[in-house]
Amino acid sequence: PTSGPSISLHFSQDGSKLVTGYGHDTIVEVCSFNTQTGVVHPLFRGWDVHRGVKYYPGIMEFSKDSRFLYIHASCVTSPPIGYPAKLVLQYDARATDSMQFAQSRIIIDSTALLSECVTQLGPDGKLYFGENGVDSVGCFNNPEILGPGCGFQLNAVSLDGHGSWGS
């Protein structure tokens, strides 16, 4: 694995994959995980680059069926004019190498300015994301569907004026 502190570490729901992103680095490392032995085997590294601009991988989470990996990414520097500061990305978690991984990338959203975001799989199979100080929770309504059909929705559930992290 890459050196440096991991800022995000997630197992796929079926336990076969482990992904991690590192602080101040644009690398996403994808590994296989043996649920019987606990052995981690690095498969490949991917990079979040959009039109030549680098993005840090932030919060990551797998769909319930482990088919898709969702990443909330932030631009490494102030983005050039016309480039988004944040991206919500979907990748095919079944990719076997970095080329397949990169080619599977779909930009789900480039307008939301999510920061200090946390994503969690809910018991209903939806992916929920909360943002520090925001009085609602967003949602991927159909995270097992490819592309826009995943149903990315900001402000999906109101928290009745309370911030999603208790503010």
Report the distance separating Cα 109 and Cα 138, nearest Å: 12
Q: Is the pLDDT of residue 27 over 70?
A: yes
Please tell me which residue, 102 or 78, carries the higher pLDDT value. Answer: 102
| pLDDT tens track for 81-113 | 888 888 889 999 999 999 999 999 999 988 776
Residue 155 DSSP code: E
Q: How confident is the model at residue 162 (pLDDT cuts 50, 70, 90)?
A: low
Q: Is the pLDDT of residue 129 over 90?
A: no
What is the reported pLDDT for 116? 59
Element (H, E) at 98: helix 98-103
Q: Answer yes or no: are the C-beta atoms of 74 and 58 closer than 8 Å.
A: yes
Residue reference for tokens 């991917």: 46
Burial class (CB in 10 A: 0-12, 13-18, 19+), 45: middle
Report the distance separating Cα 77 and Cα 54, nearest Å: 8
